[in-house]
Structure 1
């Protein structure tokens, strides 16, 4: 069966190359990925998947299922396909989207023999208002036995952790006045923003080392001779666990409320993007993936453990509900960081396409192990129950 899965992907390799190129050449921002959604779902339908578009009322989300009609585990693959503003697919989501589809089609080729179901989920807007957050909260993934996705990188890396994150916006409302003739008649909303930054900078000494707080001022006034009556600050608040993010976010909000009190401004607090939870890697599932990656020719010494800091992923929200992994495959030479023009070029390169096929094959073989080795699935589920 292993050879059959690999052959199914190899047979369609050129198709997958062309799909990734099409998405790469037609970058679309989050929740606007209509072209990517269309080409991916058409491919799945052509290979026997039942597809519905608009999952959770997200117009570019989709759910595709290949049902063997026999009992067995449900395997889920995640596809991302949103681009970055100004940089296109500099995070390689053209590869991720195609990779999930390729893994699903490859694994479906043996489902008549194993039983079970294969799901491919189109999850839009990972870079901003992550579709997986909405889908996870709606219970879309709860029936899965495992969930997987693979991210391109400049090295191989095992699935690890990610930072939970809140996206907090502070809108300060003051009162305009002539900044030279009658400044005493104004209430300076920009001063409130600046005091918020100062308060947060003082807070940094009193939070744990895993915390990251970084912000911008998207609006700070219209002219230097007018006391700003409206100013906006936006922050990301991150930490290694959802519980601690919640705690730190309340302290950040208190900094803004104190700034409003000090300046006389009024503050409105909101979330300008959805909150991401921390990634809980299922180590048993991760080990199965790594074993398959090595079996396909990757030197074990080249597969790194996660070291240092990480960003935030909406796959973290999926991992709260189902055993999940988010490993990395190499598509570029070392020191080619994501979210750069160089990485965008790598995502369109031959090396990028080869990494995409390798990731798809590894996920499909991992799914095959879950379908055919009940003892492996039981270990995965036992770990998940223990970590909840």
Structure 2
């Protein structure tokens, strides 16, 4: 009798051409957050042809979807697809690989579900991970209700158990001053550019006192119109990141004080508004991760625990999901270790042979993991660092 690994490997091989073409087609036509119309259509058509009941434009989002196969009582496993790209550099985060691997894993796992298990496989197409917070909206609108385990795999330069996923809040800051002729009557003006620059300098001074894994970065997006007019309106954007939500709240308050001090010193008013949604830190389900690592080993990949020098740092809305549902977000090697995410070089690898291998190995590993959840559902109900989610 063929082993589970052999059955899964054979099923992935049968789907290989279509999965690779899906990945490359999404890669050839990168679409930005909430604009992923083509990718949405390709994925939903594929899953529908594989027998999934598909809801397009789900949860009030035009490019979100839900696809499921229900085989009675048992665990519900959600496999996550991302498919948005970055401005100018396309799929430099490899979301085309996430989409194709996720769809392939669901198709293969659903076959096993029909043959041997009971439960439900759900594919959630989650738009706008790159800043738009698609998963946050979907979480709030009930997409993850009843889900026992949520999983996805993200490409990187190494096979790692997890990314160092830190919480992030983004904010847009406006400064309002008073215009005046910069040569004839500068004393009548209140310089909003000075307010923005002073706020920036205050944050620069704050950086030396941040905790090791905290990050703050900002840009001035509007600095004035002409040098002979005292700027009356300027604008900046700031990203603040911390390993935990408690740490993020403290950091945001400290940064806001720095920015407000710049406004006060320049005699200007400051206002701020959020950009998108807050992304939480990632809470990894250890039991679910163990199943993934075991499955990857059977496929021929060794998944390492991140250490200094191998850690990939970033933020994702999968963190929000992980606070509600046992979840994993492992990394799969799709490029050389020295090629970092969000670069043109990584985008090239995501559309090449290394990316193709990541799609097929990722599909097989996720499928094996999902099937093992169907077999061991009660394990997942008490898995993960529950005390951190409480």
TM-score normalised by L of structure 1: 0.95
> Do the aligned residues in 1 keep the contact of 2:155 with 2:334 (CA within 8 Å)?
yes
Deviation at 1:304, TM superposition (A): 4.3
What residue number does 2:339 align with? 336
> Do the aligned residues in 2 keep the contact of 1:107 with 1:364 (CA within 8 Å)?
yes
What residue number does 1:95 align with? 97
Deviations 1:175-211 (A, max 9, x none): 1111111111111110110111122123234432221
> Do the aligned residues in 1 keep the contact of 2:172 with 2:272 (CA within 8 Å)?
yes
What residue number does 2:46 align with? 43
> Do the aligned residues in 2 keep the contact of 1:161 with 1:281 (CA within 8 Å)?
no
For the pair 1:310 / 2:306, whether they are aligned, the reply is: no
What residue number does 2:82 align with? 80
Ranges in structure 2 where 5+ consecutive residues have no aligned partner: none
Deviation at 1:375, TM superposition (A): 5.7
Give the secondary-structure state (helix, strand or coil) at the position aligned to 2:283.
coil
Deviation at 1:309, TM superposition (A): 6.0
Deviations 1:231-265 (A, max 9, x none): 01111000000111011111211222222222221
C-alpha RMSD over aligned residues: 1.6
What does residue range 174-189 of structure 1 map to in structure 2 within 5 Å?
174-189=177-192
What residue number does 2:167 align with? 164
> Do the aligned residues in 2 keep the contact of 1:17 with 1:353 (CA within 8 Å)?
yes
Deviation at 1:291, TM superposition (A): 0.8
> Do the aligned residues in 2 keep the contact of 1:6 with 1:106 (CA within 8 Å)?
no
What residue number does 2:248 align with? 245
What residue number does 2:329 align with? 326
Decide whether aligned partners of structure 1 residues 166 and 361 sit closer, same or farther in structure 2, where only a CA change above 3 A counts. same
Ranges in structure 1 where 5+ consecutive residues have no aligned partner: none
Give the secondary-structure state (helix, strand or coil) at the position aligned to 2:342.
coil
> Do the aligned residues in 1 keep the contact of 2:80 with 2:102 (CA within 8 Å)?
yes
TM-score normalised by L of structure 2: 0.94
Decide whether aligned partners of structure 1 residues 140 and 309 sit closer, same or farther in structure 2, where only a CA change above 3 A counts. same
Task: Name which of 116, 120, 139 aligns with 2:119.
Answer: 116
What residue number does 2:384 align with? 383
What does residue range 1-388 of structure 1 map to in structure 2 within 5 Å?
2=4, 3-68=6-71, 70-112=72-114, 113-298=116-301, 300=302, 303-307=304-308, 308=311, 310-374=313-377, 376-378=379-381, 381-388=382-389
Deviation at 1:16, TM superposition (A): 0.6
Deviations 1:313-337 (A, max 9, x none): 1111110101111111111222111
| Distance of 1:311 and 1:128 partners within structure 2 | 12
| Distance of 1:100 and 1:383 partners within structure 2 | 22
> Do the aligned residues in 1 keep the contact of 2:31 with 2:84 (CA within 8 Å)?
yes
Deviations 1:15-36 (A, max 9, x none): 1111111101111111000000
> Do the aligned residues in 2 keep the contact of 1:44 with 1:64 (CA within 8 Å)?
yes
Deviations 1:151-192 (A, max 9, x none): 111111112431100001110111111111111111111011
How many residue pairs get aligned? The number is: 383
> Do the aligned residues in 2 keep the contact of 1:5 with 1:109 (CA within 8 Å)?
no
